[in-house]
Amino acid sequence: MRGFEEIETVGVVGAGTMGNGIAQVAATAGYDVLMRDIEPEYVESGLDAVDESLSRLVANDTITETEKTDAQARLTGTTDLGRLAEADVVIEAAVEKMDIKQDIFADLDAVVDDDVVLATNTSTLSITTIAAATDRAQQVVGLHFMNPVPVMKGVEVVTGEKTTDAVTDLAHEFAEALGKETWESDDKPGFVSNRILMPWINEGIRAFDEGVATKEDIDRGMKLGTNVPMGPLELADHIGLDICLDATETLHEELGDRYKPAYLLHRKVDAGDLGKKTGEGFYSYEG
């Protein structure tokens, strides 16, 4: 297995919200990054998102203009999966669909060197099942970044059935090299984060739908009462209601009716109101 000290180039599969965020923090931390997606417009959109994010950090005096320029110089976008043969570690950040992730991991297994660790950013899907699509299950690990990646400090390290201790240690070291703090979970449905977070969001949606309180008071009550930065409805909008629904449906299937998605969550997703990314969710985000 390639060791942590040997990591110079990071491959990221997926240029969406999570993928471009991971690519950004890796490039800012000094790694060369290859960010791959299936269509040129997806890649360009991801690169534009990184540019906007870095510009905000410059405006907030978090980084300098030179640091922004250096980070962008280390980041390359591509549609060619074969380019990831150059990577010393690869992080997959594609959609939360098991068949798609397994296809990606099977393709990566054939492309990258045998000693390269493959990580998945999945928030609910089984690491063990994803790893089964490869011939290196012992070198597959979960690296679940929190959204938005450049801002949130936490990364959940998830061990599959065959993940070795050395790979788990590498995952912790690598995340910490990106300026993150880690915790570890076994490969159980939802891991630590979403197993607890999704019922909280789901119950907040139910409370609103059943008229317990206004959405503003539900969120305000949770922020003031539990010292969280966002209440459940606001957080759901930021995560994406479609992502919340996918995660909750996975947990419902695995763990039973205590995770059954709220009716209003289904209705919002069916209406195309997915939260901040579409401009409308439980709140409006015009402009």
Cis? peptide before 261, omega within 30° of 0 = no
Largest Cα–Cα distance in the chain?
56
The rounded distance, in Å, linking the Cα atoms of 138 and 105 is 13
Q: Would you say 160 is a known binding-site residue?
A: no
Q: Would you say 93 is a known binding-site residue?
A: no
DSSP 3-state of 156: strand
What's the token pair of residue 100?
A: 């798609």
Q: How many helices (H) and strands (E) does the chain have?
A: 11, 8
DSSP 3-state of 73: helix
Q: Would you say 147 is a known binding-site residue?
A: yes
Q: Would you say 66 is a known binding-site residue?
A: no
Q: Would you say 272 is a known binding-site residue?
A: no
Q: Would you say 281 is a known binding-site residue?
A: no
Q: Would you say 82 is a known binding-site residue?
A: no
The rounded distance, in Å, linking the Cα atoms of 36 and 82 is 10
Half-sphere exposure of 117 (CA within 13 A, CB side): 32
Where on the phi/psi map is residue 191: left (φ > 0), alpha (ψ -120 to 50), or beta?
A: left
CA Rg value for the chain? 19
For the annotated catalytic residues, the residue numbers are 123, 144, 156, 194
Q: Would you say 14 is a known binding-site residue?
A: yes
Q: Would you say 17 is a known binding-site residue?
A: yes
Specify the residue for token string 């949130």.
152
Regarding beta strands 140-145 and 9-13, do their DSSP bridges make them parallel or antiparallel, or are they unpaired?
unpaired
Q: Would you say 185 is a known binding-site residue?
A: no
Dihedral angle over CA of 275, 152, 108, 40, nearest 10: 50
- List, as residue ranges, the binding site: 14-19, 37, 96, 101, 123, 147, 277
- List, as residue ranges, the binding site for NAD(+): 14-19, 37, 96, 101, 123, 147, 277
